[in-house]
Amino acid sequence: MGEFGQLPFFLLIIVVMYFFMIRPQQKKIKQEKEFEAGLKVGDKIITKSGFHGKIAELAETSVVIETMSGKLKIERSAISLELTAALNKKA
């Protein structure tokens, strides 16, 4: 009887872990992939390392950005923020 009494407790722990840890992480990964897929040439961006630039070329996994000091080739996952939409809202 003691073993069966602990089963609902362990199931509850698994359900709580799913809703507070696993599910939010999956949503975040999905949003990041949608963000990366929505990038286009001409978008102004900021990388995770703080570089500001404009997308010059797109490849499957990488991006070439134009900065004031030249062009840089970076991975799509290194892009932190897209500024074009925010700048257009202000105008």
Average pLDDT over every residue of 8-26: 90
Per-residue pLDDT at 2 = 61
Supply the range of the domain harboring residue 32.
Answer: 1-37
Per-residue pLDDT at 5 = 78
Per-residue pLDDT of 52-82, as tens digits, reads: 999 999 999 999 999 999 999 999 999 998 8
pLDDT at 91 over 60: no
8 Å CB contact between 55 and 42: yes
| Domain shared by 33 and 46, yes or no | no
Per-residue pLDDT at 58 = 94
| Domain shared by 87 and 55, yes or no | yes
Q: How confident is the model at residue 87 (pLDDT cuts 50, 70, 90)?
A: low
Q: Considering only CA atoms, give the Rg of the chain.
A: 21
The domain that holds 45 is classified in CATH as 2.30.30.100
Per-residue pLDDT at 52 = 93
| Domain shared by 32 and 46, yes or no | no
| Domain shared by 61 and 75, yes or no | yes
Looking at the DSSP bridge assignments, the partners of residue 54 are: 44, 66
| Domain shared by 47 and 82, yes or no | yes
* CA separation for the pair 33, 41 (Å, rounded): 17
pTM exceeding 0.85: no
| Domain shared by 91 and 50, yes or no | yes
Total tally of structural domains belonging to the chain = 2
